[in-house]
Structure 1
Amino acid sequence: MINKRGLTPVEFDALPDGLFEYLMVFDQFIEPSGIMYDMHFHTQSLYNTTINNSNLTTEMRKTLKPIDFDFMDILKNPELTAHEKHEKREAEKLEKQSNSVSELGKMIKQMAGGSNGKK
């Protein structure tokens, strides 16, 4: 109600004690609106579109979940702020890059035999 209709300052002052808190609980938990509700709709919509694609293999259908389409990490980590989510994604990207470089080094050593041609 507060998010959809908006209240003027006069209406806020006229609210009885505790009604504002009740309205906030109603808006956030009972009748949610806003970004989380929109992301639930978005993820479910993309999930349904993808699952109904005839080119999708059976194995891929089994592995897909609606949460996979949460491109902003809103549903995966609702307790984190946008800045914390960005830092987490950057840290994961750096870790993935360093792991791929170390894996490449191991593969090169393995291909070379690790002996430098000496016996």
Structure 2
Amino acid sequence: MKVQELVGEYTIMGSNQDAEKHSYKGKLILSLDLNSRINAIWTIGTNQQQTGTGFFKNNILVINFRYNGEDHNIYKGVAVYQCISKDILDGFWSEKHGNPLFLGEERCFRIKTNAELLD
């Protein structure tokens, strides 16, 4: 698989880095910069935005992310996805100040455009 095949929009279903595994849903948009590195924008729920940059090799996508919390602190972490196909990403993530006993989990499913559905 090539990094260019990952560009697009995905719905996400995930669980947080805590004992209760609180679930969430959202959207992930992947694009490429001039050096074919990944740019990522997550929207968790309806309004929490996170951004990240990363790289892709051997069907593994690694993204360093950051976001501003409701407490106005900046949170940082890393997300790692195994690219099952260009349409399904299976991953886990950890934040620097998250509970070190747990990992967050995330599954991403490509959002098909009308043109893709007609193929």
Q: How would you bin the TM-score normalised by the shorter chain? A: under 0.3
The TM-score with structure 2 as length reference comes to 0.20
The TM-score with structure 1 as length reference comes to 0.20
If each structure's helix is expressed as a fraction of its own residues, which one has the higher value?
A: 1
Structure with higher RCO (Cα < 8 A, 6+ apart)? 2
Larger radius of gyration: 1
If each structure's strand is expressed as a fraction of its own residues, which one has the higher value?
A: 2
